[in-house]
Structure 1
Amino acid sequence: MTTPSNTASTAHPPSIHRPWRRLAQTLLGAILAVSSVPAAHASDWPDRPIRLIVPFPTGGATDVISRLIAESAAKAMNTNIIVDNRTGAGGTIGSAEVARSKPDGYTLLFTTSSTHAIAPHLYKSLPYDADKDFTPIAHLGDAASVLLVNPSVPAQTLPELIEYTRAHPDELNYASSGNGTIVHLGTEAFLNQANIVMSHVPYRGTGQAINDMLGGSIHVLLDAIPTGMPYVNSGQLRALAVTGPQRSPLAPDLPTFQESGLPGYESVTWFGLYAPAGLPDEIRDKAYEAFTHATQDPNVRSRLQALGVDLPRSTSQEEFVSLVREDSARWQGLIQLTGIQIQ
């Protein structure tokens, strides 16, 4: 009696548990297979062309700079980088497309402070979350501006401009490249800190603004240093100061706003590389190495400097995140103070 009972008890468990054991082994194999796919893809990346979305128009400063850096980075990675201009809504349309893309390293975003430090506070709603929907990769450069005045304005220095404006309220105007642009915000930051008032005349870009400034109907403009200084050198316009934290190699005799009596003032456009959120670390690090190495290439570096782009102030991904966070907080404070908003 005892022997059959023992035989039965040892015979049933294998027949009962064998299907579950097979299922467990199958599931484990599937999990291992799935988890190995990103690692394999990351180690092979890039094995096909990369699409670099630039959310600003072809031929503009950001487009030119992105193509210059991308060309060198592509050589370093032995692949092709295709620049894709997806414009509209201050760069937010192209940025949103990247946010929705697969985080496999084949869709990247070359953008500026406009989309990630300004737009989140300027628009009532955005099709992306600047903090959560992207993987920050690299800070690739900075570009300051120069404060230009028409020669009819009797000011040779920034303090003299401030003094004249206070003595003649609402007499002077300033142009910008559009409502909510960094030219607009940078000028408003200056006016706010100096406690002066000028009338705002928005344009679609600074080209027509320069023409009107040469004609005398515009008095003040923050412009890119490479495009503004030729008019200064020809005597058609006057330059008073640069907006960066240090003097520009393109205009070494011009003081900064801080040197001119506005401590802490700074208005700099940074250029950065992003990917969709969830990008594997290995791909992020490879992209970081390739693109930052491109900015160190002597030929690329000299051409960037000719475009008014300085080497980035942050050298690591962590520093880039901190810089964007600080820049965002600064513009948020100004936007809240002035009430500037884009619908």
Structure 2
Amino acid sequence: MTLTRRSTLGLVAGAVFAPAIARAQSFPSKPITLVVPYPAGGPTDAIARFVAQEMSTTIGQSVVVDNRAGASGAVGTRAVAKADPDGHTFIFGNNQTHGNNMFLLKEPGYDAVKDFAPVAGVGAFEHAFVVRNDLPAKNIAELIALAKAEPDKLNYGSTGVGSGSHLAMELFMQRTGIRMTHVPFRGAAPLVQEIIGGRIDIANSTLPSVLEQINAGTLRALALASPERNPRAKDIPTLREQGVSNADADSWAAFFAPAATPAPVLEKLSQSVMAAIAKPEITEKILKLGFTLKVRDPAAFKPYHLQEIATWEKIIKEAGVKPE
């Protein structure tokens, strides 16, 4: 290759990468919006706000949480997929918004893989079986017997069609041969209130969304759908301890940005998020919710994300859950 040819290629390459480098150097140039695709008040919202507050003190701009609920998290997720990919808009998603919606919504309006770039995997919400206080079932065996005696009479709540709480219960019913009636809600807060009020019988809800109420005695926990007991809820036995296997279900959570976000900007955003979570006071706040931390950078989270999508797609098909 001639010297002139090499020089020309170098100039072209410089022209291509210069805008991305410039963007990274100037990022952030305005306040950052962190979308939470659920109502305010739930554990997802709480974790996002912990991270946003800490990021605001270190990244050079304020990070503002924007709750955009609706359509099982698809409304807010769709908005971020179509946002300007400059790093100033990102989302705190989960296995519902960035996985199951692809198979449970006829028109989610986005592709969970093609339209997003992972910023950081955070960990998982373990699921706890909680019931209204006056439900005549003190353990999982009694719950199964009650449900089998009158199929479809018991109702169970979830945070939306395709949510972790919905599919975790579908998996449990599939493994135990029982049938209950599904009642979806728009987020964890209204679901919890309906159980406390006695209008919903049971939920396989994320532990952070019900831990405070369990400790307060306003609802009862029967089991944890996880391989091991949670240090923050040591008195709750697992499903496995009560004779139910292959029904564990954790709902992962992660931060995502629009797919076309420049790599240097994505890296800066990722580092800021992970640094915020690593602060001891932020870590402690998140753990107090009952959330299990397992932080992954984008390279480590991507293959995990793809594997989770494949796993739950199979479970959805086996459970016969139809898109809505």
Q: How far does the alpha carbon of each residue in 1:118-153 deviate from its partner, in whole angstroms, 9 at most, with x for none? A: 100111122211111111110123212321234554
Among candidates 22, 32, 35, match of residue 50 of structure 1: 32
Identify which of 278, 284, 289 aligns with 1:307. Answer: 289
**1:81: Cα distance to partner?**
1.4
Match of 2:229, as an amino acid?
A: R
Moved more, 88-97 or 202-211: 202-211
Q: 1:228 and 1:81 mapped to 2: Cα distance?
A: 27
Q: CA deviation at 1:274?
A: 1.0
Is residue 310 of structure 2 the alignment partner of residue 337 of structure 1? Answer: no
The answer as to 2:80 corresponding to 1:90 is no
Report the AA paired with residue 296 of structure 2. T
| Contact kept? 1:148, 1:222, Cα under 8 Å | yes
Q: Report how many residues are paired.
A: 320
Alignment of 1:111-130 (within 5 A): 111-130=93-112
- Does the 8 Å CA contact 1:170/1:199 hold for their aligned counterparts? yes
SS at match of 1:76: coil
Match of 2:121, SS?
A: strand
- Identical aligned pairs, as a percentage? 35
1:272 aligns with 2:254: yes
Q: Which amino acid aligns with 2:162?
A: G
Residues 135-179 of structure 1: CA distance to partner in whole angstroms, max 9, x if unpaired?
111012321232123455444332343344345544533233343
1:7 — aligned with what? none
Tell me if the contact between 2:226 and 2:248 (Cα under 8 Å) persists in the aligned partners: yes
Which residue of the partner structure matches residue 44 of structure 2?
A: 62
Q: Are 1:226 and 1:250, in contact at CA under 8 Å, matched by a contact in 2?
A: no
TM superposition shift of 1:289 = 1.4
Amino acid aligned to 1:138: A
2:103 and 2:323 in contact (8 A); partners too? no
More displaced 10-residue stretch of structure 1: 62-71 or 144-153:
144-153
Aligned to 2:20: 38
Please identify, of 100-109 and 284-293, the stretch whose mean Cα deviation from structure 2 is larger: 100-109
Give CA deviations for 1:201-256 in whole Å, capped at 9, x if unaligned: 34455556555545655432223434534554455543111123432232112122
Q: Which has the larger radius of gyration?
A: 1
In 1, the alpha carbon distance for the partners of 2:49 and 2:141 equals 39
SS of 1:144's equivalent in the other structure is strand
Whole-Å Cα distance in 2 between the matches of residues 244 and 156 of structure 1?
A: 19
Name the structure 1 match of 2:53. Answer: 71
Unpaired runs of 5+ residues, structure 2, are 1-6
- 2:205 is the alignment partner of 1:223: yes
Report how far residue 181 of structure 1 moved: 2.9
The separation in 2 between residues aligned to 1:31 and 1:210, in whole angstroms, is 55
Identify which range, 262-271 or 152-161, moves more after superposition.
152-161
What is aligned with 1:191? Answer: 173
2-structure distance, mates of 1:200, 1:339 = 14
* Superimposed CA distance per residue, residues 28-65 of structure 1 (whole angstroms, 9 cap, x where no aligned partner): 86774453121122233224322222222233332222
Distance 2:36 2:189 in 1: 21
| Contact kept? 2:74, 2:101, Cα under 8 Å | yes
Counterparts in 2 of 1:279 and 1:155: CA distance versus 1, 3 Å: same
| Residues 1:181 and 2:181 aligned together | no
SS in structure 2 at match of 1:77: coil
Q: Provide closer, same or farther for how the CA distance between residues 302 and 101 of structure 1 changes in structure 2, counting only shifts above 3 A.
A: same
Note the residue ranges of structure 1 that are not aligned, 5 or more in a row.
1-24
- Cα distance per residue 1:77-105 (max 9 Å; x no partner): 23221222333222222222222223222
Alignment partners' CA distance in 2, 1:236 and 1:59: 18
CA distance in 1, matches of 2:141, 2:283: 34
Work out the CA distance in 2 between the residues paired with 1:135 and 1:259.
38
**Is the partner of 1:196 in helix, strand or coil?**
coil
1:66 Cα deviation from its structure 2 partner? 0.8
Provide closer, same or farther for how the CA distance between residues 231 and 307 of structure 1 changes in structure 2, counting only shifts above 3 A. Answer: closer
SS at match of 1:98: helix
